[in-house]
Amino acid sequence: MRMLDVLAQEFEREAAVTRRVLERLPEEHYGWKPHEKSWSAAGLASHLTNIPGWIAPCLDQPELSLDPAARSPWLAANRAELLAKFDENVAAGQACLQRQSDTALGEPWTLKMSGRPVFTLPKAAVLRSFVFSHLIHHRGQLSVYLRLLNAPVPSIYGPSADEGGF
Structural Rg of the chain based on CA atoms: 17
In this predicted structure, the answer to whether residue 37 has a pLDDT above a threshold of 70 is: yes
Burial (CB < 10 A; 0-12, 13-18, 19+), residue 149, is: middle
In this predicted structure, the answer to whether residue 163 has a pLDDT above a threshold of 90 is: no
In this predicted structure, the answer to whether residue 71 has a pLDDT above a threshold of 60 is: yes
Among candidate residues 29, 37, 19, the one with its CA nearest the CA of residue 151 = 29
Among candidate residues 39, 20, 21, 40, the one with its CA nearest the CA of residue 30 = 40
Residue 57's pLDDT band (boundaries 50, 70, 90)? Answer: very high
Neighbours of 134 (CB within 10 A): 15
**pTM score, whole prediction:** 0.94
In this predicted structure, the answer to whether residue 151 has a pLDDT above a threshold of 70 is: yes
Q: How far is the C-alpha of 42 from the C-alpha of 30, rounded, in Å?
A: 5
Query: Which DSSP category does 163 fall into?
Result: B
Domain ranges of the chain: 3-148
For the domain covering 3-148, report its CATH number. 1.20.120.450
Residue 72's pLDDT band (boundaries 50, 70, 90)? Answer: confident
Residue 166's pLDDT band (boundaries 50, 70, 90)? Answer: low
